[in-house]
Structure 1
């Protein structure tokens, strides 16, 4: 995780706006944690059902393949949520260090509208279009 030691305080947002973004980020974090728990629970159910089935029809290649596809889907969704949680943690760190809302590519402010939709965004629309995919 990226972490700066000394605050720089060059965020384009007021303290009140930063508090709003921090609240949004913490809510996103809780939602993401719930999703991971749900996905892990569903994954455990799939694996338990796979272990419980004893007839040869249940272990038919097609059925096993479908179950494997579902398991893979849940592993991917869990990984995506964990990546999102890391991005949220980095955004919270940027609030703490005073550089929240600054594009990591251009060094210019990220549009407030973009952050209201994706509060953990680290790139401006301009940078996203031209120089990065995140």
Structure 2
């Protein structure tokens, strides 16, 4: 890690290293979750033709499968958004802006960063 990173951040080098490690772990876990969800989505998509051509399946089964497929897609999207936020936070560590609210320029509460290390706004600051 660059020694000058803490110059702009309200956090110490030790704190930055802590959050960087947490973010890297979250990034890896989120990427794995996305891969698992994408495989599940492909399973639903691949099985759809078999279900629709079969006379043995009830309309309710098809509807349930579609709802499940939609829920998996929503989970994929949420995880992709989270991954994007994690990457932004890692970039902010690299640029020396980590822990600074993008709206107010004030330090983000450490408690907030512990709860959500990819936060870019202080508690109570609304996104524009």
* Structure 2, gaps ≥5 residues long: none
Q: Given the two structures, how large is their TM-score scaled by the length of structure 2?
A: 0.87
Q: Given the two structures, how large is their TM-score scaled by the length of structure 1?
A: 0.84
* Greater fraction helix: 2
**Equivalent residues, number:** 123
How far 1:21 sits from its partner (Å)?
0.5
Which residue does 1:132 correspond to in 2?
127
Distance 1:72 1:126 in 2: 32
Distance 1:52 1:29 in 2: 35
* Structure 1, gaps ≥5 residues long: 1-6
Q: Return structure 1 stretches of 4+ with deviation > 6 angstroms.
A: none
- Give yes or no for contact 2:113–2:119 (8 Å, CA) kept in 1: yes
How far 1:46 sits from its partner (Å)?
1.8
How far 1:43 sits from its partner (Å)?
1.3
Q: Which moved more, 1:42-51 or 1:73-82?
A: 42-51
The alignment's C-alpha RMSD in Å is: 1.8
